[in-house]
Amino acid sequence: MKNHIAILIFLALGLFACNNSTPQEGVSEATETTMENAQFGGLALYSLRDSMAVHPREVLKEVADIGYKYIEAANYEDGKFYGMSPTDFKAYLDEIGLIPMSVHQGSVTLDNADQMIADTKAAGFKYFVIPVPPMGHFKFDQATGTLNMSEDLETVMNIINTIGAKCTAAGLQLLYHNHNFEFEENANGIVPMEYFLEHSDSANVNFQMDLYWVTKAGEDPLAWFAKAPGRFKSWHVKDMDDEGRFAPVGTGHIDFARILEHKDESGMECYFVEQDRTFNNTPIEAVTISHNALKEIGFQNVN
């Protein structure tokens, strides 16, 4: 089963990276400045999807050399992660000193969930993340270029709760990842994120907060931590420039230090730099800049 949903979202929006990079492009100088850093923090491999599709082992080694400690995968196809069996993928990460922490499974359904969960477990991941409303409930409006979801929140939540119970039984934690539309009132006058929080059992379902998309929705992450303490177990950390575009951490205007002060209220257990699209840097340069900024902000003290 191909995990194309997250990629299709950004393809439809034109959010693929402006600058594709080979595994060695722009690495030497940036890597030299970070090789001495102790490993900390996570990287969402979606940030490096183009080079990961060609040379996954080499790119993963670069990620470790930059100083990241754990990764979030975003490619699962035919029972493999980046062309490697679950056990081979885990073994290679062990070899280079990276931890398989989280995986986005955008193509999960009630029919394929058992196999996906088994493979996720075999690869050593802890978090099974549903990145968009599953099973056809995600919407993209080509006329306006906006992301949205169906108004049938009950069905969406029933699917997520069912998969969440399966994950719990397998020893995994299920998280739902937000974009901006979950924080916006739908046609029925309901805010999907409020509905999800109310109609999910925290024993089986929690959330990965994407700090960029929450900000894009005009919301304050701290307000949501207060509404649902302990339920935002994972964060996506990416900045926003003055034009509202994706930016490397520390180069935009999101106040991460302020948000980080409330990590305990959030329940945050891990975080991942994610760079959906780059404008002035190659992807590998962007995630290197972000890792250096994480240290300045204080993220290295989280784990």
What pLDDT score does 302 carry? 87
* Interatomic CA distance for residues 173 and 274, integer angstroms: 20
What pLDDT score does 33 carry? 40
3-state secondary structure of 243: coil
Cα atoms in the 13 Å half-sphere on the side-chain side of 279: 14
What pLDDT score does 61 carry? 98
What pLDDT score does 160 carry? 98
Nearest CA-CA partner of 49 in 6, 86, 80: 6
Domain ranges, residue 177 = 5-301
Element (H, E) at 128: strand 127-130
Overall number of domains in the chain: 1
Largest Cα separation within the chain, whole Å, is 53
What pLDDT score does 173 carry? 98
Give Cα separations from 299 to 19, 223, 235 (angstroms).
27, 21, 12
- Tell me the per-residue pLDDT of 207-257, one tens digit each, with 9 for 90 and over: 999 999 999 999 999 999 999 999 999 999 999 999 999 999 999 999 999
Burial of 141 (0-12, 13-18, 19+ CB in 10 A): exposed
What pLDDT score does 138 carry? 67
3-state secondary structure of 101: strand
Residues of the chain short of pLDDT 50, as ranges, are 1-37
What pLDDT score does 108 carry? 97
3-state secondary structure of 251: coil
Structure tokens at 124: 């050593």
What pLDDT score does 99 carry? 98
What CATH number is given to the structural domain containing 12?
Answer: 3.20.20.150
